[in-house]
Structure 1
C-alpha cells in the first residue's frame, strides 16, 4: 500500500501542473486584472496606473507571470490579497477554521441521517416508512441548495428566531469563553443542517438499494437457513457489507468540505473559504481566487487517494498494488 500511495502522489504532480495552467489562464481571461480590484481607474492618474502595472509585473509576458506565480506556489507563497492588503495564506488561514467546523458538522449530519434512513429503508423496503424516506430524498435532490437555505433562514431565523441568519460569531463575544463557543455553534447549526441534509439523499438511496440487493444473496439465505436471527443477519452481514462503499465516499467528501459550501456560505454570509472565494471573484482579487482554486484541486486529488486507500482497508478482498 505504501508503494501504491507513493506512485499516486507522484502521479498527482503533472495533474496539478496542468490544472495550475488552466487556473492561471482562466484568471487572465477574466475581465480586468489584480490592479482593477486595488484602485479606481476613473479617479486615478493613468500614468500612476501604468507605473503600478509595471511594478506588479502585469506588463510582463504571460509565461513569465505564470512562472513567477508558480515559483511562489511551490514555496507556499500565493502572494498578497490586493483587497485585504494581507498575505493570501494568512487570509485563508483566518477563514479556514470556520469552513472546517461547518464542513465536519455537515458531514456528520449527512452520514448520520443517511445511515439511519438508509438502514431503515433497506430493512423495511416498500413499507410506508420507506416511501416517506424516498419522498424526502426526492425533495432533497429536486430542491436547489440555495432555495433550501433561503427557506431555512425565513423559517428558523426570521420567523422563529431560533438561530442567527448570518455570520459565524455574535458581536461583543470574547474569544475562548463558553459564550464564544456557544455562539459559534449557534451560527453554524443552520448552514450545517442545510448543507448536510441536502447531501443525504444520494447516500441514503445508495445504502438502501445495496441492502436490498445484499438481502437476496446466497450468504444471507444460508444464514437464514441456519436459524440466525433476522436482526443479526441485517446488522452483522447485510449492513456490514453494504456500508463499505459508503465509508469509501468519505475520501471524496474531503474536497466537498470546502468546495461544496460555496453557495451555502454565500447565502448565510458565513465567513469561510467558500464565501472568500466568491468575494475574491467579485473583487477581482486573483491571488486569493487562484490560491483557493489550487487548494480545492489538491484536496480533490487527495480525497480520491484517501477513498481508494479506505476501500482497501475496509474490504480485505481489495489489494492495492
Structure 2
C-alpha cells in the first residue's frame, strides 16, 4: 500500500502542472485586466503599470514566471488589494474553511442518517416525504434559499444576524467571541448543507437498498443478529464504499458553492473576495483561488483512496 500511495503522490505532480497551465491561460486570455478596468488611467500610465507588473510579456514567459513563483508559495500580487495573493487568501481562508468544514460534517451525518432510515423503510410514507424534501432542497438556487432564510430568521423573527461574521462594533472576546461567530455562521452553513445533502442522501439510499438485498445481509439476519447490528455494522459499511468516491469532490465543491452563499451573507471568506475579483478583473486572485480548488480536488481523491482501504479490509491497494 505504501508503494501505491507513493505512486499516487508522484502522479499529483503532472496533474497539478496541467491544471496550472489550463488555469493560467484561461485567465490570461480573458479580455482586459484590472488596469484596463480603471478608466481614470491614461494610456501611458496604463502601459507603465503593465510593464511594472509584467503584464506586457509574452504569455509563455508570464506562465513560467507565475509557476516558478507559485512553487515558492508566491501566487502573485493583487492589484485590487495591493497585497500578495497569499496574504489575501490567508486572511479569508480560515473563515471559508469554517463554514465549509461544518457544512461537510453536517451533510454527511444527515445524509447517512436519513439515507439509511429511508432505505430500510423503502416506499413508506416516510421515504416518500424524504424524497420530496430532498428534491425540493436540490431544486432551489442558493441565492433564493439564502434570501428566504434571511427574511424568515433574521428580519421577521430576529433570531439570527443578517450577515457578516461579527456584530457591528463588536468587542467580545473568549467564549462570547466564539458564540458570536457561531450565531453568524448558522445561516450560511445551513444553506450550504441544504444544497449538498440532497444528492448525497440519494446516493446513500440507493447504495443501502442494493446492499440490504445481498446474501450476506440475509445470512446475518438468519443468524439472529439484531436489526440495528445488521444495518449499521454490516450493511452500512459496505454502502459507504461507493459514496467515498464523492468525498474527493465534496470539499472543493463546498468552496465553489460558497461563492454565492458568502456573497449573500457577506461572510468574509474566499468566495466573497472571489466575486469581487471577478467584478474588478483581478485575475491573480482568481488564479490563486482556482489553483487552491485544484489542489483540494487532487488531495480529496487521494484521501478517498486511503478511506477505501480503511472502510473495507478486503481492498488491497497495489
Q: Tell me the TM-score normalised to structure 2 length.
A: 0.94
- Tell me the secondary structure at the aligned position of residue 252 of structure 1: helix
The answer to whether residue 97 in structure 2 is matched with residue 91 in structure 1 is no
Query: Matched residues in 2 for 1:62 and 1:231: separation?
Result: 61
Match of 2:146 among 141, 145, 149: 149
Query: Matched residues in 2 for 1:4 and 1:34: separation?
Result: 45
Alpha-carbon shift at residue 302 of structure 1 (Å): 0.9
Query: Matched residues in 1 for 2:295 and 2:286: separation?
Result: 14
The answer to whether residue 308 in structure 2 is matched with residue 298 in structure 1 is no
- Tell me the secondary structure at the aligned position of residue 247 of structure 2: coil
Query: Matched residues in 2 for 1:244 and 1:22: separation?
Result: 32
Distance 1:22 1:236, change over 3 A: closer
Segment drifting more, 119-128 vs 255-264? 255-264
The answer to whether residue 72 in structure 2 is matched with residue 75 in structure 1 is yes
Match of 2:203 in 1: 206
Query: Matched residues in 2 for 1:174 and 1:7: separation?
Result: 50
Runs (4+) off by over 4 Å: none
Match of 1:265 in 2: 262
> How do residues 26-65 of structure 1 correspond to structure 2 at under 5 angstroms?
26-36=26-36, 40-41=38-39, 43-65=40-62
Alpha-carbon shift at residue 10 of structure 1 (Å): 1.5
- Tell me the secondary structure at the aligned position of residue 162 of structure 2: coil
Match of 1:129 in 2: 126
Segment drifting more, 181-190 vs 4-13? 4-13
**Alignment size in residue pairs:** 318
Match of 1:218 in 2: 215
Unaligned runs of 5+ in 2: none
The answer to whether residue 1 in structure 2 is matched with residue 4 in structure 1 is no
Alpha-carbon shift at residue 290 of structure 1 (Å): 0.7
The answer to whether residue 97 in structure 2 is matched with residue 100 in structure 1 is yes
Considering only aligned residues, what root-mean-square deviation do their CA atoms show, in Å?
A: 1.8
Alpha-carbon contact 1:167-1:271 (below 8 Å) kept: yes
Segment drifting more, 117-126 vs 46-55? 46-55
Segment drifting more, 219-228 vs 85-94? 219-228
Alpha-carbon contact 1:245-1:311 (below 8 Å) kept: no
Distance 1:243 1:19, change over 3 A: closer
Q: Tell me the TM-score normalised to structure 1 length.
A: 0.93
Match of 1:109 in 2: 106
Alpha-carbon shift at residue 250 of structure 1 (Å): 3.1
Query: Matched residues in 1 for 2:54 and 2:34: separation?
Result: 11
